[in-house]
Structure 1
Amino acid sequence: MSTTESTKTRIHGLDAVRAAALLLGIVLHGLMPYTAQIPWLVDDSQRAEWPLVVISAIHFFRMTLFLVLAGYFGRLVRSRRGTRSYLRDRLIRIVLPLFVFWPFAVLPLGLLAAWHASRVGKELVRPDVAGHGGALGAFDLGHLWFLWVLAQCIVIALLLRWAATKLMPESSATVRNLLARCLSARLGVLLAAIPYAITTNIQQEASGLIAPTTLMPDPVALVAYLGAFGVGWVLSSDDSALRRIGNHAWFHSAFAVVATALTLVTTGAISIGIDAPQPVWSTLQALAGWSCCFALLGLSVRYLTIFRPWVRYLADASYWMYLMHLVLLTFFEVFIAHLAWPIMVKASLNFIVTSALLLLTYRVLVRSTWLGSWLNGRKSSPSSKA
């Protein structure tokens, strides 16, 4: 999702991070058919242990990072345009796409899963949604769940902001600035990880956060995602916060490698016979996810300081690509599921073909059309660098 800052004032490294946060979802979903540990739409004939390692490592931080950026840019837009305009913009570009794209991006997935089951002679296993929130719980958002969670985060953040300005008008800005300095300090990742750790210790899921995939709000999951959105919101209030995180980029990177490795080992994704207590690996998950977020933010603002048209292009295309990728991935997977090719070959081929088609459709159908103006908040010419 795009912002409207000029190339002179925008932080170009965040374009790369924004694109990565969404495009890694294509990698993650492309590997799902090859792991036996996680039920998926299509069961591939080739299975291995290593896809779960990659999936888990990505899942620990990807949506947290996305929500940090959403909160960061969200506060900037609200400050510039006002609350009413900000809400209207997010309603149009986040909530409306959820329901408009659902019939094309999510509904066909069940049909593809049924098609695959009939091809391989297996019974289609349908999720049991009865008794979990009624009509709200029965509406499966699929991979578009993040838009609904983001909408909830926006509303709650604005309500908290309103309450803070009403209850402590003199000190709310001071508290926010203090939080920004604490979060951007070397060990600020420990503070940022607290909401995530609360959720993981309640959910107790080894592969990472359990995302709410229906319209029914999930307060437990929302703690982690609202925490990430709030961190981004607070960091954007301090012009030097990202620079300070950039100064600690290599510390966060080393922390991320160690924390992620320990989490993968203690959760059993990498099996070496270590049996850690649940609170240990649940907390390590939070530290791994947040240290990866801070490492990527820090490295991007420290080293990716030059405007690169292809990075900006991918950043703009990433929203469309994520909305529509799963139908294409699943469609092609149905045709290659029975092939005895190496997993890396099959997954790479599917990723390349799917990404190429998504980029082509973005160029032809979205980039310079009303659809691009709707999703990205502006209309670009095919050769636009902005």
Structure 2
Amino acid sequence: MRTDVSGREHHWDSMRALLMLLGIPYHVAMAYRANDVWIVNAGEGDLIFTWIAGIIHLFRMPAFFVIAGYFAALLLMRRAPGAWMKNRLIRLGLPFVAALLTLNPLLNLFCELSNFSLWGALGSLEKNSLQSGGYWVRHLWFIIVLLYLCGAAALLCHLAPRAAQAMLPARIDDWLGRHMAAAVIGLGVVIGAWQAGAIELFYAWGFATNLPQQILRIDQLIQFAPWFALGWLVCRAPQFRATLHKPSASLALIALAATLLYLQIGRDVHPMTERFIGTIAAITMTQALIAAMKRLADRPSPAVQALVSGAFVVYLVHLPITAGLVVLGQHIAMPVVVKAGMITALTMVLSWGCWRIVQASPTLRLLYDGVGPELPRLTPPPARMTATATAP
């Protein structure tokens, strides 16, 4: 499917919204995994949700950070690093603080109510709020990591202005484009080795404590920095990017095999091996998703644009809603698959309703979406710098 005449590649927007919205079925599945404990206790589960959660977990956040790196590289070609970073701080920082102070306490209360009576829940809420940084951060961790990576990208372009415009050398880009499958696997091996070694060292050296791990999220910065860098590479390598848009049977088979292997033995092997297998699954699944979205969603669509506009707020509000519905579901007798499906659908409806309320209020829009009358949403420029304009 061809990009519209404006040159904008709509599939990247669609893919980003999809990955944000997948947080809803992912977190519902986490609550209903078989024989697993999560932040909210459903008291029941099924193996199908263990598999659903595992599959979504493999590719969702790696692919999200690839897109984040892609857009960072694209926007920094057209905008001053300082102005761009200021926009990022407002667009991400304000919603982070607002959600931290208003949504996450509600989320934590529901999590406690899934295990205790009201007074016991309030006591546990007070205790954990005072002791655990991760208790406050919860699902907002990705904003912390994204701000780190955006700051690093802006600093690079400030200190080395040529980096803002630099493209991958044509000879290397051409080789990557002609050997896309091998390049994806090679990059997966490099990232997988980094994941297996660096994250393991972080834990082995005793950094998994309240400040570096639970609050600052340094382990997840280590984990997702390579994916952000991969997105930057994809933006600056037009020949490689063009071939990523094409389905690959070999990579699809590797993705299937690696995913099944991860789900089958992931918990029974050393964490380094688990991370390496998971990385191979993630990068091949990401390529398949890019190709699929290019084919299916690279066109202007009012419905898709509405989802793109609301996806961030929906993500912020959905987890407290999910947790509250799971607690209510403890008292309803019905097949767990049916219950989880209903909670997924109802979470989406209620989250979308919250977005419409936020959308209608300039104050709420600023607080929860980082967009105000003087703070427009920073969108990528028409894609003279995107794959369509630089296809082989």
Question: How far has the Cα of 1:197 moved from its partner?
Answer: 3.9
Verify: 1:8 aligned to 2:6, yes or no. yes
Q: Which moved more, 1:94-103 or 1:63-72?
A: 94-103
The residue number in structure 2 matching 1:361 is: 354
The residue number in structure 1 matching 2:94 is: 96
**Correspondence for 1:74 among 56, 72, 89:** 72
The residue number in structure 1 matching 2:183 is: 188
- Kindly provide the amino acid, as one letter, of the partner of residue 301 in structure 2: R
**Correspondence for 1:284 among 262, 270, 277:** 277
1:26-77 deviations in whole A, cap 9, x for unaligned? Answer: 1111122222554323322322222121111111111111111111111211
- Kindly provide the amino acid, as one letter, of the partner of residue 117 in structure 1: N
**Correspondence for 1:329 among 322, 327, 352:** 322
1:300-347 deviations in whole A, cap 9, x for unaligned? Answer: 123432222212211221101001101111111111123332222111
The answer to whether the Cα contact below 8 Å between 1:366 and 1:372 also exists between their aligned partners in 2 is yes
Q: Tell me: CA distance 1:174–1:300, structure 2 relative to 1, closer, same or farther (3 Å).
A: closer
Question: How far has the Cα of 1:120 moved from its partner?
Answer: 9.5
The answer to whether the Cα contact below 8 Å between 1:60 and 1:285 also exists between their aligned partners in 2 is yes
The residue number in structure 2 matching 1:156 is: 152
SS of the counterpart of 2:181? coil
The answer to whether the Cα contact below 8 Å between 1:259 and 1:284 also exists between their aligned partners in 2 is yes
Query: Whole-Å Cα distance in 1 between the matches of residues 270 and 26 of structure 2?
Result: 27
Q: Tell me: CA distance 1:361–1:113, structure 2 relative to 1, closer, same or farther (3 Å).
A: closer
Q: Which moved more, 1:287-296 or 1:250-259?
A: 250-259
The residue number in structure 2 matching 1:263 is: 262
Matched-pair identity in %: 24
Question: How far has the Cα of 1:86 moved from its partner?
Answer: 0.8
SS of the counterpart of 1:44? coil
Query: Whole-Å Cα distance in 2 between the matches of residues 140 and 120 of structure 1?
Result: 20
Question: How far has the Cα of 1:6 moved from its partner?
Answer: 9.1
- Alignment map for 1:110-149 (pairs within 5 Å): 110-119=108-117, 137=133, 140-149=136-145
The answer to whether the Cα contact below 8 Å between 1:243 and 1:301 also exists between their aligned partners in 2 is no
Query: Whole-Å Cα distance in 2 between the matches of residues 98 and 216 of structure 1?
Result: 14
SS of the counterpart of 1:106? helix
- Kindly provide the amino acid, as one letter, of the partner of residue 141 in structure 2: W
Q: Tell me: CA distance 1:260–1:180, structure 2 relative to 1, closer, same or farther (3 Å).
A: farther
The answer to whether the Cα contact below 8 Å between 1:12 and 1:305 also exists between their aligned partners in 2 is yes
The answer to whether the Cα contact below 8 Å between 1:129 and 1:138 also exists between their aligned partners in 2 is no
More helix by share: 2
The answer to whether the Cα contact below 8 Å between 1:29 and 1:326 also exists between their aligned partners in 2 is yes
- Alignment map for 1:1-386 (pairs within 5 Å): 8-119=6-117, 137=133, 140-161=136-157, 173-174=167-168, 178=172, 182=176, 185-193=180-188, 194-201=190-197, 203=199, 214-218=214-218, 220-268=219-267, 279-366=272-359, 369=362, 371-372=364-365, 374-375=369-370, 378=376
Query: Whole-Å Cα distance in 1 between the matches of residues 131 and 196 of structure 2?
Result: 24
Query: Whole-Å Cα distance in 2 between the matches of residues 283 and 371 of structure 1?
Result: 42
Question: How far has the Cα of 1:253 moved from its partner?
Answer: 2.6
Question: How far has the Cα of 1:148 moved from its partner?
Answer: 0.2
TM-score by length of 2: 0.78
The answer to whether the Cα contact below 8 Å between 1:7 and 1:307 also exists between their aligned partners in 2 is no
SS of the counterpart of 2:43? coil
Query: Whole-Å Cα distance in 1 between the matches of residues 135 and 269 of structure 2?
Result: 37
SS of the counterpart of 1:61? helix
Query: Whole-Å Cα distance in 2 between the matches of residues 36 and 120 of structure 1?
Result: 26
TM-score by length of 1: 0.80
Q: Tell me: CA distance 1:311–1:351, structure 2 relative to 1, closer, same or farther (3 Å).
A: same
Query: Whole-Å Cα distance in 1 between the matches of residues 77 and 106 of structure 2?
Result: 39
Cα root mean square deviation, aligned: 3.4
Query: Whole-Å Cα distance in 2 between the matches of residues 58 and 240 of structure 1?
Result: 29
Name structure 1 gaps, 5 residues minimum: 205-209, 269-274, 380-386
- Kindly provide the amino acid, as one letter, of the partner of residue 147 in structure 2: A
Query: Whole-Å Cα distance in 2 between the matches of residues 6 and 147 of structure 1?
Result: 31
Query: Whole-Å Cα distance in 1 between the matches of residues 343 and 116 of structure 2?
Result: 21
| Structure with larger RCO (C-alpha < 8 A, sep 6+) | 2
Paired residues in the alignment total 355
